[in-house]
């Protein structure tokens, strides 16, 4: 009774939706023998799938949700751009608004028109280009610059569900209003060819938490923000708390000037509840505490080479969906592209660094790594959520059994000729080259890799008994017109951590109500946990996964009416 009361008090403090409001509405559970979760990177729903037929896409956006506001209040006439391929020059000046001279009016625009898949705008794996690579000087793939996607900034961009500060609150400014030609995406074409697998689009699916990849990976497996044990709170260089202005912003951008100037701090943790000293005061309207909400490295290898120890998140001990699955004897694994190389697992599936001790031989290895840690230049260390937990520390049986390389998953698919050899639950995390993340990865090339993964399953003995969930960790700083639960008048499970912007989600399964269905049920990232909990009779891991709809609802969805 005391524990339940504590949970209720926590829910009241964070403003969560009452438990059980939505979670009990799921239909009959089909026979799901194998579940594969493919976790991709950094796109909003409107950015990728907003042109898919039958969905609540860009065509449904009202002018108020598209028109972006300036910090002074009025709407911009034009979109400022700083991606090197979208600035003027090389683009002509067709729109002028004060200090903004641009080829873009204040509205969503098609990225493919200016940076097509054939454009040589992708940086080599070892190169960081803050505002992109000029066409003609990079690799093919049509890459753009990266866009800010952080905890407090996203809340400012959402503007209580008005969806009209994406440009103002971004380091990439106007690019946040870009979108891709949905029907040109390899995944769209694959799912529209003859004989395609049955699939559903969930067009009301939101990222679990505000902000970026690190935090949303944690919400995927634990439905909770990590608490930084022993967090320094003295205002020193090792104090990793953010400092906010009255708008909840921790940084300055080309179109946003903080009233506190450079006194704001954009750090790994939330603002301190007791900042003291010379730091700006706590802003009571925004979450405070010792929560790690922006990109943080783990204590255990693999972590980004050169990370100072005070910036490494102490090992976590809260419960995860992996713990629940293991306790129920459900076989599962997290398969990550490049894991064996990065984790120093010499000779394991996916190891490509030879047999010479002390020497990383793969030409794509990160030269800052030291053997046997030979991570790929685009291996993302903060995309490995279980590696932050003490129960999966190096040397543990749980780590050896459950943290595996994507090459092993591919091998299991290829060996499934007569029977499906996949585990009951497989999380698949593609390597950076294939994860679709703006800045260092190509959207069309990543979509090609997704098609290859899905077609491998579809052409194996797993096709008849495997459900594949494809989703993205977060919005990548890109606009979407749908307000998340808890923003404005949108009801649904929510708390001080999210959910955030709507993201693309597909479900491929033989049990669906048609070859193509659209599911309008409200979900967020923790709905994946809720699905596993329902399928395998597991207790909820945290609060949000106990409240949200499970994806079992997708099996009662219907084909859309196409006018």
The per-residue DSSP string of 379-407 comes to --GGG-GGGGBGGG-TT-HHHHHHEEEHH
* pLDDT score for 27: 56
Alpha helix (H) residue ranges in 168-261: 186-190, 213-222
Q: How far is CA 398 from CA 262, 331, 387, 401, 542, in A?
A: 45, 11, 11, 5, 21
Give the CATH number, domain containing residue 326: 3.40.720.10
Would you give the distance in Å from CA 217 to the centre of its chain?
7
Q: Quick check: 314 pLDDT over 60?
A: yes
* pLDDT score for 531: 97
Q: Quick check: 259 pLDDT over 60?
A: yes
> Is 27 contained in some domain?
yes
Structural domains in the chain (count): 1
Could you report the per-residue pLDDT of 425-458, keeping only the tens digit for each? 999 999 999 999 999 999 999 999 999 999 999 9
What whole-number distance in Å separates Cα of residue 477 and Cα of residue 389? 28
Could you report the per-residue pLDDT of 372-423, keeping only the tens digit for each? 999 999 999 999 999 999 999 999 999 999 999 999 999 999 999 999 999 9
Q: Quick check: 12 pLDDT over 50?
A: no
Q: Which residues contact 78 (CB under 8 A, 6 or more apart)?
A: 95, 96, 97, 100, 101, 102, 104, 105, 106
User: 3-state SS of 50-113?
Assistant: CCCCCCCCHHHCCHHHHCCECCCCCECCECCCCCCCCCCCCCCCCEEECCEEECCECCCEEHHH
* pLDDT score for 513: 85
Q: Quick check: 17 pLDDT over 70?
A: no
Could you report the per-residue pLDDT of 387-398, keeping only the tens digit for each? 999 999 999 999
What is the Rg, in whole angstroms, of the alpha carbon atoms belonging to the chain? Answer: 23
- Report, as an integer, the average pLDDT of 537-547: 98
> Is 260 contained in some domain?
no
Could you report the per-residue pLDDT of 171-215, keeping only the tens digit for each? 999 999 999 999 999 999 999 999 999 999 999 999 999 999 999
| Beta strands at 516-519 and 505-508: parallel, antiparallel or unpaired | unpaired
Q: Quick check: 20 pLDDT over 60?
A: no
What whole-number distance in Å separates Cα of residue 70 and Cα of residue 167? 8
Measured on CA atoms in the order 454, 459, 460, 464, is the torsion positive or negative? positive
Take residue 551 and report the two structure tokens written for it.
């994806």
> Is 25 contained in some domain?
yes
Take residue 442 and report the two structure tokens written for it.
């190509």
* pLDDT score for 142: 97
What whole-number distance in Å separates Cα of residue 64 and Cα of residue 405? 45
> Is 388 contained in some domain?
yes
24 falls in which pLDDT band (50, 70, 90)?
very low
* pLDDT score for 3: 31
* Cα dihedral: 41, 24, 326, 228 (round 10): 60
* 8 Å CB contact between 173 and 99: no
* pLDDT score for 276: 81
> Is 68 contained in some domain?
no
Domain containing 208: what range? 2-57+182-226+297-338+376-556
How buried is 519 (Cβ within 10 angstroms: 0-12 exposed, 13-18 middle, 19+ buried)? buried
Q: Which residues contact 298 (CB under 8 A, 6 or more apart)?
A: 312, 313, 315, 381, 382, 384, 387, 388
- pLDDT-above-90 percentage for the chain: 90
Would you give the distance in Å from CA 261 to the centre of its chain?
30
* 8 Å CB contact between 346 and 357: no
- Report, as an integer, the average pLDDT of 251-273: 98
Output b/e per residue, 254-271; b: 16+ Cβ within 10 A: bbbebebeeebbbbbbbb
Neighbours of 183 (CB within 10 A): 11
* Average pLDDT value over all residues in the chain: 93
> Is 105 contained in some domain?
no
467 falls in which pLDDT band (50, 70, 90)?
very high
Could you report the per-residue pLDDT of 115-152, keeping only the tens digit for each? 999 999 999 998 989 999 999 999 999 999 999 999 99
> Is 160 contained in some domain?
no
* 8 Å CB contact between 492 and 486: yes
81 falls in which pLDDT band (50, 70, 90)?
very high
How many residues are there in the chain? 563
* CA atoms in the 13 A half-sphere facing the CB of 211: 29
* pLDDT score for 204: 98
> Is 353 contained in some domain?
no
Spatial CA neighbour of 84 closest among 42, 125, 143, 124: 143
Q: What is the largest CA-CA distance in the chain?
A: 67
| Residue that wins the pLDDT comparison between 371 and 562 | 371
* 8 Å CB contact between 344 and 302: yes
556 falls in which pLDDT band (50, 70, 90)?
confident
Take residue 523 and report the two structure tokens written for it.
């979900």
* pLDDT score for 563: 61
Measured on CA atoms in the order 308, 477, 246, 218, is the torsion positive or negative? negative
Q: Quick check: 515 pLDDT over 80?
A: yes
């Amino acid at each position: 009774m005391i524990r339940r009361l504590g949970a209720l008090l926590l829910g009241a403090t964070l403003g969560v939706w009452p438990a059980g409001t939505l979670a009990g509405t799921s239909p009959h559970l089909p026979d799901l023998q194998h579940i594969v979760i493919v976790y991709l990177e950094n796109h909003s729903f409107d950015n990728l799938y907003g042109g898919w037929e039958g969905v609540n896409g860009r065509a449904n956006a009202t002018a108020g949700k598209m028109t972006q506001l300036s910090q002074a209040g009025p709407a911009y006439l034009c979109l400022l751009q700083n991606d090197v391929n979208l600035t003027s020059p090389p683009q002509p000046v067709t729109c002028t608004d004060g200090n903004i001279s641009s080829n873009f009016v204040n509205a969503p625009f098609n990225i493919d028109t200016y940076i097509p898949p054939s454009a040589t705008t992708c940086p080599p794996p070892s190169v960081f280009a803050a505002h992109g690579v000029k066409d003609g000087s990079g690799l093919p793939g049509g890459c753009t610059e990266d866009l800010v996607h952080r905890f407090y900034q996203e809340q400012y961009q959402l503007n209580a569900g008005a969806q009209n500060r994406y440009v103002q609150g971004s380091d990439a400014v106007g690019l946040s209003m870009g979108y891709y030609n949905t029907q040109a995406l390899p995944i769209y074409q694959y799912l529209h060819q003859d004989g395609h697998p049955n699939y559903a689009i969930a067009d009301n699916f939101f990222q679990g938490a505000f902000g970026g990849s690190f935090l949303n990976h944690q919400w995927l497996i634990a439905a909770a923000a990590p608490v930084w044990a022993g967090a320094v709170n003295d205002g020193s260089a090792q104090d990793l708390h953010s400092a906010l202005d009255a708008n909840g912003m921790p940084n300055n951008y080309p179109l946003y000037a903080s009233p506190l100037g450079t006194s704001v701090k954009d750090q790994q943790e939330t603002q301190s509840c007791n900042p003291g000293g010379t730091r700006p005061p706590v802003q009571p309207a925004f979450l405070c505490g010792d929560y790690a909400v922006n990109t943080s490295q783990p204590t255990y290898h693999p972590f980004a080479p050169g990370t100072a120890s005070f910036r490494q998140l102490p090992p976590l001990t809260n419960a995860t969906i992996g713990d629940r699955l293991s306790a129920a004897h459900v076989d599962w694994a997290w398969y990550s592209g490049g894991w064996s190389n990065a984790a120093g697992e010499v000779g394991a599936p996916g190891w490509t660094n030879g047999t010479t001790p002390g020497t990383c031989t793969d030409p794509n290895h990160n030269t800052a790594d030291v053997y046997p840690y030979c991570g790929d230049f685009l291996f993302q260390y903060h995309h490995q959520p279980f590696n932050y937990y003490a129960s999966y520390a190096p040397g543990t049986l749980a780590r050896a059994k459950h943290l595996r390389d994507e090459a092993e998953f591919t091998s299991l698919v290829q060996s499934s000729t007569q029977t499906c050899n996949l585990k009951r639950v497989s999380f698949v995390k593609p390597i950076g080259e294939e994860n679709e993340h703006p800045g260092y990865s190509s959207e069309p090339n990543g979509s090609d890799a997704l098609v290859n993964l899905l077609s491998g399953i579809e052409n194996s003995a797993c096709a008849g008994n495997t459900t594949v969930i494809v989703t993205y960790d977060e919005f990548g700083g890109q606009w979407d017109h749908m307000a998340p639960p808890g923003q404005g008048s949108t009801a649904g499970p929510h708390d001080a951590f999210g959910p955030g912007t709507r993201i693309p989600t597909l479900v491929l399964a033989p049990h669906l109500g048609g070859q193509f269905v659209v599911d309008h049920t409200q979900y967020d990232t923790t709905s994946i946990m809720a699905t596993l909990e329902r399928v395998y009779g597991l207790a909820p891991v945290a609060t949000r996964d106990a409240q949200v709809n499970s994806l079992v609802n997708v099996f009662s969805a219907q084909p859309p009416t196409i006018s």
